[in-house]
């Protein structure tokens, strides 16, 4: 229930900021961790000033546990420029594979908020991800987490 409320808040922030000029960090590759459901390694690579591809290799602690692989294409929407910090809401679309007794393939729709501290080569993010599993059965699911990535020069 808490993830659903958080997702509604992020969606509201997105609607407010969608009309703001889109400018974002536009280069580099970052690697870090994401804590939540699932928990693991997170990577992100910028493909333009406002678009990036991110992915993760992670472990789910639900039930008997399972290994997750996911990748998403993201669109960033920058808010009012700050003198010291930058924030961005992002949305995306992607996919996931869960390796378990019975493998699962699904579509992901991440909504998140990212913070770039001025002068630091990191980003800190929080995201909520509605999921539509497609195989072996169609089911709705959700992931969410917080994370940090270091961007290499």
Give, in words, the CATH class of 2-152.
mainly beta
C-alpha distance from residue 20 to each of 23, 27, 80, 125, 132 (Å):
9, 21, 7, 20, 30
What is the mean pLDDT of the segment spanning 10-23? 36
Selection from 34, 46, 29 nearest residue 70 by Cα = 34
Residue 4 has pLDDT above 80, yes or no: no
What is d(CA 127, CA 114) in angstroms, rounded to the nearest whole number?
9
What is the mean pLDDT of the segment spanning 82-104? 88
pLDDT of residue 1: 37
Domain edges within the chain: 2-152
pLDDT grade for 84, boundaries at 50, 70 and 90: low
pLDDT digits over 126-143, tens only? 999 999 999 999 999 999
4-8, 68-72, 74-78, 104-108: range with lowest mean pLDDT: 4-8
């Amino acid at each position: 229930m808490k993830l659903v409320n958080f997702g509604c808040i992020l969606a509201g922030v997105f609607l407010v900021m969608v009309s703001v000029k889109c400018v974002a960090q536009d280069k580099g590759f970052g690697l870090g961790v994401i804590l939540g459901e699932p928990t693991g390694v997170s990577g992100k690579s910028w493909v333009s000033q406002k678009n990036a591809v991110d992915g993760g290799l992670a472990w789910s602690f639900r039930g008997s546990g399972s290994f997750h692989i996911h990748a998403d294409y993201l669109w960033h929407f920058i808010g009012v420029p700050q003198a010291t910090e930058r924030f961005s809401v992002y949305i995306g679309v992607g996919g996931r594979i869960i390796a378990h007794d019975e493998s699962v393939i699904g579509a992901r729709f991440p909504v998140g908020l990212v913070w770039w501290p001025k002068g630091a080569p990191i980003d800190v993010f929080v995201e909520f991800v509605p999921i539509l599993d497609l195989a072996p059965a169609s089911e709705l699911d959700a992931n969410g987490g917080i994370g940090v990535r270091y961007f290499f020069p």
